[in-house]
Amino acid sequence: MLPLLIASFTGFGLGLLLMLQVMRRRARTLQQRAERMQQTARRYALGDRSRDVPDYGDDDLGDTARAFDQAIRELGQQLDQLSRDRARTETVLASMAEGVLVVDSQGRLQLVNDAARQLLKLDRSALGHPYIETLRHPVIVEQLTGGLEGAPASTLELTLPLDPPRMLLARVASFDSEGRGAVLVLQDVTDFRQADQMRRDFVANVSHELRTPLTAVKGYAEALLDDPDDEEMRERFLEIIHTQASRMERLVKDLLRLARLDAGQEQADASPCDLEPLLAGVVSDIEQVSSTKRQQVHLMVAPAVARITTDMAKLHDIVRNLVENAVNYTPEDGSITIEAAGTGGAAVITVSDTGPGVPASDLTRVFERFYRVDKSRARPGGTGLGLAIVKHLVQVLGGSITVANRPEGGAVFTLTLPQAPSGV
């Protein structure tokens, strides 16, 4: 009996020990799995989803862990997508020419892109501060306030007192996101407005320049029709009509050339060019007028620039225009000097005269279309477009041109050209 009892107790004890052993092993495995899950959760919290899904086991706990893992990975992908979208939006905003400024429902600056920062003279520290305190333009402040109060989207034009002043279109619209916010878009329209004004001035100038000769042609033609038999009058009037028609023809020719130059239709056609004969040709072109005015014309070409590579026809047109002006604006018995010299790989051609010169305030403007220093002194044959064409032609040749007054009186135009331009 006793041995049987001992055997059963021993069996029970062994069974208990075995069970405890199994339970301890399971507890350890469970602890290891829990640690793995915690480690994975910590990695996810740091944004690291680079490793494969760990082995969570095949039981209910494993299924639950896998479900969480899947949800976290999907959320992570959405976060990645969101931050990619955000980076793209920031790049778009930073590269926009328009200024963009966003105000939240509390009236604080939530976003200001680079263009808005520059236009409104704001620095980065303005972010998060109330727009009423940071913006110094009452009109914009008023517009934003309207937007925050739910006024319909509005656009207004304003001039910012910057140096130089900028003309802006300011658009404000409100949006709803956790309360009503407002977005301001600033578009700089200064260049557009200036171009528009220049176009209007140009059309007005062309009309004005054409009207004078046209009126004369019409008037003299009518007089001829009224009295066709007066031989002497006919000849005189026909001559006037011819002169005025030629003036219109010159104007139209100059306008067409400017239009071609504007459209980039005149390219430089460079070839080796002997400067002395080219400049001498210009002198002989104007000889008749200069000798009538008893003017002396001097020409000097330094050996260093005897031959340059450039577009001869265009260089001829440039110098001819400058010399023609010099002859026309210089009084009788004056003198005109054309000089060509070389400095550091460039050819420098100057045309100077002993005329009245250009008033200091007009020096920067004489190359503008139709700009004349003194309308009453404008020469009869001039179109007011000569120097504008010259400026364009010089650009085509890759050079530059300036005008100044000589200390002893008279104007000096300085043309600088590359001796052997690249790409010409």
By the criterion CB under 6 A, which residues form the site for ligand ADP?
Answer: 325-326, 329, 353, 355-358, 366, 371-373, 378-379, 382-388, 411
Q: Which residues pair with 181 in a beta bridge?
A: 175
**H helical segments located in 107-230:** 114-119, 131-134, 138-148, 190-226
Q: Are strands 335-343 and 346-353 parallel, antiparallel or unpaired?
A: antiparallel
Min CB(341)–ligand ADP separation in Å? 20
Cβ closer to ligand ADP: 40 or 383?
383
| Structure tokens given for 199 | 């176009």
Cβ closer to ligand ADP: 44 or 371?
371
Instruction: Find where tokens 């000798």 sit.
Output: 291
| Structure tokens given for 280 | 């001498």
State residue 338 phi and psi, 5-degree precision: -115, 125
Min CB(396)–ligand ADP separation in Å? 17
Residue 119 has a CB neighbour count (10 Å cut-off) of: 21
**DSSP 8-state symbol, 304:** G
Cβ closer to ligand ADP: 113 or 354?
354
Instruction: Find where tokens 């041995």 sit.
Output: 3
Min CB(203)–ligand ADP separation in Å? 18
Cβ closer to ligand ADP: 180 or 379?
379
Give the whole-angstrom CA distance, residue 190 versus residue 161. 12
Cβ closer to ligand ADP: 53 or 259?
259
Cβ closer to ligand ADP: 140 or 401?
401
Cβ closer to ligand ADP: 185 or 394?
394
Which residue is nearest to ligand ADP, using beta carbons? 382
Give the whole-angstrom CA distance, residue 274 versus residue 285. 17
Give the whole-angstrom CA distance, residue 378 versus residue 386. 12
Min CB(343)–ligand ADP separation in Å? 23
Min CB(194)–ligand ADP separation in Å? 21
Give the whole-angstrom CA distance, residue 150 versus residue 179. 11
